[in-house]
Structure 1
Amino acid sequence: MLDRRRSALIGVAIAFLTGTAPAHADAVLDHVGTYVWERDEAPFGGFSGIEIAPDGASFHALTDRSHLYWGSVQRDDLGIVRGMTVAGRAHLKDSSGNPLPPGYTGDSEGLAVGADGRIHVSFEGLDRVVTYDDPDTAGAPLPRPPQVPGMGQNAGLEALAIRDDGTLIAVPERSANETIPFTALAFDGAWTQLARIRRDPRWRAVGADFGPDGWFYLLERDFRGVLGFTSRVRRMRLTADGVQDDEILLETRPLQYDNLEGISVWHDGTDIRVTLISDDNFIFLQRTEIVEYRLRQTQAQALRN
């Protein structure tokens, strides 16, 4: 009994120190590396979305002021990010070809890049999703999504992901209250309410992606005041019968990272990797971080298999 208790306490301590999920979870995320991305230009910062290419060598990154960056990722022999080279930047435009201003109409939050290369961006404030065949051309707004309880000017369509079949999934930042589930909206020619995702008190949805394993990964954030931000990553299956196999993979400590808002899930040739990006809110005390984790199957899942 004492040995079991000691092992349990050690497991809890390791989870606290590393920010990983408890050892009984089916899978956990192991930290790979953190890179602080800096660039001396006014539009740089406020990143709310990121997409890493399937080979891990290139990226798209979205700011919350309608600027989209793209380029290449430099990695060392261990696959750890050592640099981000910008190949281009575009100021996203409205359907008339006018650059979007910051604020109500230009608060870009969610990013999803389809297999066809088209770029999809969700906005809060004026809640909508816009598709770009090219980031330098006018946007093509989708039909306006339905308003669901909890959506507001600073709590709109924060998280956006795209399935292999091209269906877009959008999740508002919050629900009607902390005990009412998030509403996941789906667009496949028309908007529908796809699923209701459990919401735990304090946590808000800020990013989403579908992994190469078909699971839906949700990034959530909690602001702890002077203690800064905490983040967690969940994965689940979105099925016709609703949400299944919902589990927490990662919960970070206060001040462990900055304000993580974007998530990209991809395969590095060996394992599934999760890349996160932080929003520095254009405040000099904060920073833009690229944080990467690798998915590890736990013994609990191995025993099931």
Structure 2
Amino acid sequence: MPHRRCRALIARLSLSLAVIAAPAAATTLEYVGTYVWRGNERSFGGFSGIEISPDGHEFHALSDRAWLYWGSLHRDPEGRIREVGVAGRAQLKDSKGTPLKPGYLGDSEGLAVAADGTIWVTFEGLDRLASFDNPDAAATLHARPPELPGMRLNAGLEALAIDAEGDLYSLPEKSAREDQPFPVLRYTDDTWSRYGTIRRDPRWLAVGADFGPDGYLYLLERDFHGLLGFSSRVRRMRLTPDGPQDEEILLTTQPLQYDNLEGLAVWQDGLGIRLTLISDDNFLIVQRTELVEYRLRD
């Protein structure tokens, strides 16, 4: 073969191999901002769940003492939160209309708001699922979730998410052991069922979840470092009965970078997918309620 043709063939082959080996476009996560939310009411604080409207301007926030806050998020031209306007707050009620007290019956943790406005809440302590037609309504009780390995007092169904079809998914804060995966429960047609598992990495605990507009499940996890505070991690994955697919870790924070992030909401801001996280201050003066936001670009 003439040298010229040989060199041309080698060049074309090299180019083809370079195209095949070229990596896919990277996923980038951009920090948007942090807003410290303050309130003077005794009920303010301890937020363990948050839901954001599709346009990013309305919110519901759930405390672990059975209080629900709702209102508006005022943003600057760059989309950063500049003020939280509280439109109302309500103490959640039991099925008889009696306000729930903090503790065993009132340890509300997971929050999901359906397209029709129904408010869904999971509780620790007495592990259960309840729905509310509005924040002031009496609870509608539903089938009790099955007892899972690792579930115990203060380690029940912490994360709750609702998909586009209206099915609910929940998982406990802990699995049976650090080397065993988190079991995932699905609730549909008033029936609970096991829906696969999600890998657990030692020390990381599941504290929040939400389905994004891309159909992925986003999972918020937390690690506690004693005097060094908390670190947080966000994973996303396609949830299937055969296990997660296309899983990736989007965010891992350093100890003391943020407070005790426990709630996660995922929405579309027009430039990318926005992650809004809220911290649980445990009603302690040394902690704070933070709204932390990132934007995901694929």
TM-score (norm 1): 0.88
Runs of at least 4 residues off by over 6 Å = none
AA in 2 matched with 1:58: E
Aligned residue number for residue 162 of structure 1: 162
Separation in 1, partners of 2:242, 2:109: 28
Q: Which residue of the partner structure matches residue 220 of structure 1?
A: 221
Correspondence 1:1-305 to 2 at 5 A: 26-189=26-189, 190-297=191-298
- 1:132 and 1:25 map into 2 onto residues whose CA distance is 42
Contact 1:219 1:231 in 2 (8 A): yes
Q: How far has the Cα of 1:124 moved from its partner?
A: 0.5
Structure 1 Cα separation of the partners of residues 69 and 101 of structure 2: 17
- The answer to whether the Cα contact below 8 Å between 1:111 and 1:120 also exists between their aligned partners in 2 is yes
Distance 2:210 2:28 in 1: 17
How many residues end up aligned between the 2 structures? 275
* CA distance, structure 2, for counterparts of residue 27 and residue 104 of structure 1: 41
Aligned counterparts of 1:266 and 1:77: Cα–Cα separation in 2: 18
Paired AA for residue 286 in structure 2: L
User: Looking at CA atoms only, which structure, 1 or 2, has the larger radius of gyration?
Assistant: 2
- 2:12 aligns to what? none
Structure 1 counterpart of 2:271, which letter? T
Q: CA RMSD in A?
A: 1.3
CA contact (8 A) 1:25 1:249 kept: no
Q: Structure 1 residues 281, 175: closer, same or farther in 2, change over 3 A?
A: same
Once residues 142 and 48 of structure 2 are traced to their aligned partners in structure 1, the CA distance between those partners, rounded to angstroms, is 20
The CA distance in 1 between the partners of 2:24 and 2:200, in whole Å, is 21
1:242 is paired with a residue whose SS is coil
Q: Normalised by the size of structure 2, how large is the TM-score?
A: 0.90
The Cα of 1:54 is off from its aligned counterpart by 0.2
Alpha-carbon distance between aligned partners in 2 of 1:232 and 1:24, rounded to the nearest angstrom: 23
CA distance in 1, matches of 2:197, 2:25: 22
- The Cα of 1:245 is off from its aligned counterpart by 1.3
Whether contact under 8 Å (1:259, 1:279) holds in the other structure is yes
Contact between 1:151 and 1:172, CA under 8 Å: does it hold in 2? yes
Identity of aligned residues (%): 65
Task: Give structure 1 stretches of 5+ with no counterpart.
Answer: 1-22, 298-305
Give, as a single letter, the amino acid of the residue that structure 1 aligns with 2:209.
Answer: A
Could you tell me whether the CA contact under 8 Å between 1:30 and 1:293 is conserved in 2? yes
- Once residues 25 and 211 of structure 1 are traced to their aligned partners in structure 2, the CA distance between those partners, rounded to angstroms, is 20
Structure 2 distance, partners of 1:99, 1:26, is 48
Is there any run of 5+ residues in structure 2 with no aligned partner, and where?
Answer: 1-22
Give the secondary structure class of the aligned counterpart of 2:74.
Answer: strand
Q: Distance in 1 between matches of 2:297 and 2:135?
A: 35
Task: Indicate conservation of the 8 Å contact 1:62/1:68, yes or no.
Answer: yes
What's 2:18 paired with?
A: none
Q: Deviations over 1:121-146 (max 9, x none)?
A: 01011001100011101001110000
Shift of residue 240 of structure 1? 3.4
Task: Show CA shifts across 1:21-43 (max 9, x none).
Answer: xx999524221000000011100
Report SS of the residue matched to 1:239: coil
The letter of the residue matching 1:157 is L
SS in 1 for 2:152: coil
